[in-house]
Amino acid sequence: MVPTDVDYLWFEQRFPDLAEAYCVTLVGNETSAGLLDRFGVGGDRVDRVGVGELVDPSYAVWDAHQGDVQLIAATSVGQWALAVEVNGYLGVTEELFAGLSAGSRLVSHFRNVNAADRFCLVDDGQLVVDFEPLFAWHRSGSHPDLYAELMRTVGMRMGQDDDLGEPGAAAFALAEAITGVRLTAELFERSAFTCGLARLPRRTRR
């Protein structure tokens, strides 16, 4: 059964601090440690349980480094590795796509406090589908229409006259439909995340 936005309404309800500004990234055939390596995380790594423990440290890192360094938290979900960024966007940063998706598939979606958002599907460095969930009828990438029908099914707003719906929840549903990885509130609450610091690519720094 194809997931829909209704299946992910819990995200904003259960995790409002994270839902305000986040980036969620899945990379196939990778471990949590390997995904942190792909992000360029070096130095000390610490474990934290649940995404609630990521919020304050993430904003503290952002403030200390004026946004040039971000906290990345990763855990394994079956054959996929999941990265969660609070107030981050490295998972949808094009300068990182080649390394993050090398030999694999990356699905990442992002939203910030200004409601700017992005959904990316990258296969081994190639940006296949790229769009803003708020304006899903505008798409780019090498195969922008690859999942057009699936996008409609999961609840994406596919035309200006469509109801606004829940674009954030629909992004989670689309990610599940593409990867087969179902994210749950319990996973976000109970998973052990390995955390470290990653620096933004030079061209993206302020």
Using alpha carbons, select from 110, 107, 121 the residue that is nearest to residue 87: 110
Answer whether 18's CB lies under 8 Å from 86's CB: yes
Residue 95 confidence (pLDDT) above 70: yes
The model scores a pTM over 0.85: yes
Cβ neighbours of residue 186 closer than 8 Å, sequence gap 6 or more: none
What distance in Å separates the CA atoms of residue 125 and residue 50, rounded to the nearest whole number? 30
Answer whether 26's CB lies under 8 Å from 175's CB: yes
Say whether 10 sits in a helix, a strand or coil: helix
The two tokens of residue 151 are 């996008």
Using alpha carbons, select from 123, 113, 170 the residue that is nearest to residue 146: 123
The per-residue pLDDT for range 137-170, each reduced to its tens digit, is 999 999 999 999 999 999 999 988 778 789 999 9
Residue 206 confidence (pLDDT) above 50: no
Say whether 58 sits in a helix, a strand or coil: helix
Residue 203 confidence (pLDDT) above 70: no
pLDDT for 1 equals 87
pLDDT for 89 equals 96
